Amino acid sequence: MNVENVVPMAPPREPVDMEVPHKTVLLHEMLAALAPYEGGTYVDATLGAGGHAEAILSVAGTRVIGIDRDLSALAIARGRLGHFGDRFVPVHGKFSEIAGHLEALGISCVHGICADIGVSSMQLNEAERGMSFRLGGPIDMRMDASDGSTALDLIEALSDDELADVLFRFGDEKRSRRVARCIKQAHAAGELHTTLDLRRAVIRAVGPARIGGVDPATKTFQALRIAVNDELGELNALIEAAKQVLSVGSVFAVISFHSLEDRLMKRAFRSVGWSALTKKPVVPSDAETAENPRARSAKLRAARRIDESENLGFDMDDPDTFGGGESAVDDEESVA
């Protein structure tokens, strides 16, 4: 990590009237959890289109370091947030390397971290990213299209059994053996070139019927994307790094979209060094999910960083300390 990762800022300018290709999820709830204040420095670890960062920067005197693997997302965020001047600093890189990013900027600690984990609408809607089974594109699925192996590379490298294990572990695909076998057969026959080809291979294995309105390919696409981007490893690394860079009393707030991520956050916030602000995850309102169906699986958990010598004393049977709302029913992340 070095200062070259910091994306050069455009000169301050007036806000532009632009259509942002992504609706920010749980915006008000995230802002309530972070409670940003004047003079505070915050990290948006998954900058995306900049919705959460913009809300934080709207509090006078705040500063936001925005991290994202996706260069196209960084470009959109720069256009949206450039008028905040040097209060906004975009950084290209992984959020697992947050400590190095901050060190390169001369920052020893921050006053809050937010993260919106998973794939964005922008990435889903770009066929060339290979995230969607509804759009024909390369079998890529990388968050950072400039680095690393693609989903097709992964499929080629894994045996049938190894691929089945990935589908079961990261997608909870109960028919993982059959799906993996059909994918590998399609690849061996030279029939696996696009995301639509990949979906056809899955349909051959499990049939076209939707389960509860969810496309049969959802679990496979989710599992491959998580594996390609090491999403759970990245999240675990962010959790550990947050302990090092957050000042005592500051808040770490994370929005997740499937049970694997949510369980990681639940366990983390019950461990030493954290005081959970949410007993159950905060979920979108009916109005938000009606306006943005992709928000339906979102779950927000937040915790305050405390001195590790303090007694946590947090009873998971007590009413919520912050927010409210019943836990959302687990379902597969909406991949397209």
- Does the pLDDT at position 318 exceed 60? no
Per-residue pLDDT tens digits for 149-174? 999 999 999 999 999 999 999 999 99
Evaluate whether 241 touches 303 at the Cβ level (below 8 Å): no
Banded model confidence at residue 317, pLDDT cuts 50, 70, 90? very low
Residue with tokens 């997302």: 73
- What is the DSSP code string of 102-116? HHHTT---EEEEEEE
pTM, full prediction: 0.83
Give how many domains the chain has, as a whole number: 2
Per-residue pLDDT tens digits for 214-257? 889 999 999 999 999 999 999 999 999 999 999 999 999 999 99
**Widest CA span in the chain:** 60
**What are residue 91's DSSP bridge partners?**
6, 67
Q: Do 81 and 223 lie in a common domain?
A: no
Domain membership of residue 30 (yes or no) is yes
99 contacts: CB under 8 Å, gap ≥ 6: 241, 244, 245
Domain membership of residue 264 (yes or no) is yes
Domain range enclosing 204: 144-228
| Res 131: pLDDT | 81
Question: Any idea what the CATH number is for the domain that residue 15 is in?
Answer: 3.40.50.150
What are the start-end ranges of the H helices in the chain?
A: 27-34, 51-57, 71-81, 98-104, 121-124, 151-157, 160-171, 176-188, 195-206, 218-228, 231-245, 259-269, 286-291
Q: What span, in angstroms and rounded, lies between the C-alpha atoms of 45 and 116?
A: 8
- Counting Cβ atoms within 10 Å, is residue 318 exposed (0-12), middle (13-18) or buried (19+)? exposed
Q: In what order do the strands lie in the sheet with 246-256?
A: 88-92, 63-68, 41-44, 110-116, 246-256, 299-305, 274-276
Pick 168 or 212 by higher pLDDT: 168
Per-residue pLDDT tens digits for 51-110? 999 999 999 999 999 999 989 899 999 999 999 999 999 999 999 999 999 999 999 999
Q: Which residue, 107, 58, 101, is CA-closest to 83?
A: 58
Q: Do 24 and 84 lie in a common domain?
A: yes
% of the chain at pLDDT higher than 90: 69
> Phi and psi of 86, rounded to 5°?
-80, 5
Q: Do 238 and 187 lie in a common domain?
A: no
Last residue of a domain, one of 197, 228, 259: 228
